Amino acid sequence: MAAGIDDIAIYIPRLYLDASDFASARGLDPVKLEKGLGVSQMAMVDADQDPACLAANACLKIMQRNNLSPSDIGRLYVSTESSFDESKAMNSYVVGMLEQVYGPGTFEHCGGVETKFACVSGSYALYDNTNWIRAGESEDQYAMVVVSDIAKYDLESGGEMTQGAGAVVMLLSDEPRLLSFDPRVTSTSIKDEYDFYRPFGKETPIVHGEYSNMLYMMQVKKALETYKKKVRTAGLIDVGPEGTILDHMDYINMHLPYSKMGKKALAYLVRHEWRHLPRWREVLRDIGMEEPVPKDPRGTIESVLADRDFMQKDKEFTRRFTDTAQYQEVYESKLASSLVASRMIGNLYTASLYLGFRSCLEFEHKKGVDLEGRRIGFGSYGSGSSAMVFSGVVQRGYEEIVKKMDLESEIGSRRRLTWDEYVQLHENQLRPEESLADGRGEFVLVGINTDKESSGERHYRYNG
């Protein structure tokens, strides 16, 4: 049975920090953000927004656009790593907000949970709900999976230049118009790690950025190895002796903590896949240097990162490799369109991969490409750590949705924050009623109780 993504919508908060303002306030070269990281703007939440609001706003948008009523939705999952409660699940807050519009009790029948595994949990939620549909449990209802996050790092920390906020919601069905997931090939890898984590009570994460980036690439590579075996077993694709699985993915969407990371991660996978193929000889000729190997090739990530000579040579090799015509062709045709939105919005943690997917559809369609039947591969990663590799095929009905996509208008008009406003918002110095942007037509946070009996209880309003 087919099962996959029928429609996708985004909600991006109406405030942003411009990368050039960030660079000048922090004494950085703006080119580092623009070119080194691929960050132009970072979306920021207002004083009356939290990740549940972002999720609810995205859900309302997709329901209204498809004229759905709550009885059409059988499951509502929220995946996030910006949770603010250790027990009450974020989907319950979202249901509460949606019922302000659709009426009390209208979602009573709807199951769901909040899922957590850093940036990868949305992919697990999609997989589980796809299987709920494949198992014939959905009774013609949709599953609604929303990935919502606020990527917030400490002031003056290394991660501060890779912030962002927003939500992406996907409707799943057994007759998906956008993408049908390939069955029996979804692959995972998992390892107990401390590359990025946020202990109880802490609003911002502890991040080992360089370590995390390397782990991301290694974990996705491991999941890709399993994916290749499953593809063979399932008889899905015949790669052939001189081919690689990546040749059979028309598009590759990667997890994007910042847009440039997609380019780095794809280069890592392509190198891994091409290394044993005849075409590699020609690539090495163009690069003009041997591929470096660490002093201790079977060592830990720490030992590889500490091998500065190797790291320097590897950086140079990667730079030359990404400049080759062979990699450029892969990059431009399979990845570049998925990076456009990330550059304008920033890091969305769980949602970043799916913002990339939406970006890929819109900007490939705008190039005039017929997307029907094209296979999209996904490289999902969550710190802590787990990766998931899976794929799907664009369906016949895609054009009805994709032709209406317009990122700029979907983001809406945004207000550029001054540096003082950014710091005030970051340090939670503004109350909800002091919000900076107009939240008309949106769910907003009204307040959080502080009294002993109901401490932490949140109240929301629909500004209809």
What is the contact surface with ligand COA in residues (CB under 6 A)?
29, 31-32, 35-37, 119, 158-159, 161-162, 196, 207, 209-210, 212, 257, 264, 315, 349, 383
CB of 440 to ligand COA, least distance (A): 32
Q: Which amino acid is at 425?
A: L
Distant-in-sequence, close-in-space partners of 13: CB < 8 Å, separation ≥ 6:
43, 44, 45, 46, 49, 54, 165, 166, 437
Token code pair at residue 339 = 């990076």
Quote the distance between the C-alpha of residue 238 and its chain's center: 29
Q: Is 241 helix (H, G, I), strand (E, B) or coil?
A: coil
Token code pair at residue 151 = 């990527």
Cβ closest to ligand COA, residue 130 vs residue 383: 383
CB of 361 to ligand COA, least distance (A): 22
Cβ closest to ligand COA, residue 93 vs residue 378: 378
Asked whether the beta carbons of 134 and 66 are under 8 A apart, the reply is: no
CB of 388 to ligand COA, least distance (A): 14
CB of 221 to ligand COA, least distance (A): 17
Number of CB atoms found within 10 A of residue 433's CB: 10
Cβ closest to ligand COA, residue 107 vs residue 153: 153
Number of CB atoms found within 10 A of residue 17's CB: 26
CB of 313 to ligand COA, least distance (A): 13
Whether a cis peptide bond, with omega within 30° of 0, leads into 385 is yes
Token code pair at residue 261 = 């990371």
Classify residue 248 by its DSSP letter.
G
Q: Is 226 helix (H, G, I), strand (E, B) or coil?
A: helix
Cβ closest to ligand COA, residue 31 vs residue 325: 31
CB of 325 to ligand COA, least distance (A): 19
Cβ closest to ligand COA, residue 106 vs residue 204: 204
Cβ closest to ligand COA, residue 82 vs residue 395: 82
CB of 264 to ligand COA, least distance (A): 6
Asked whether the beta carbons of 78 and 118 are under 8 A apart, the reply is: no
Cβ closest to ligand COA, residue 32 vs residue 320: 32
Greatest Cα-to-Cα distance within the chain, rounded to the nearest angstrom: 70
Cβ closest to ligand COA, residue 219 vs residue 244: 219
Token code pair at residue 129 = 């709900």
Number of CB atoms found within 10 A of residue 279's CB: 12
CB of 50 to ligand COA, least distance (A): 19
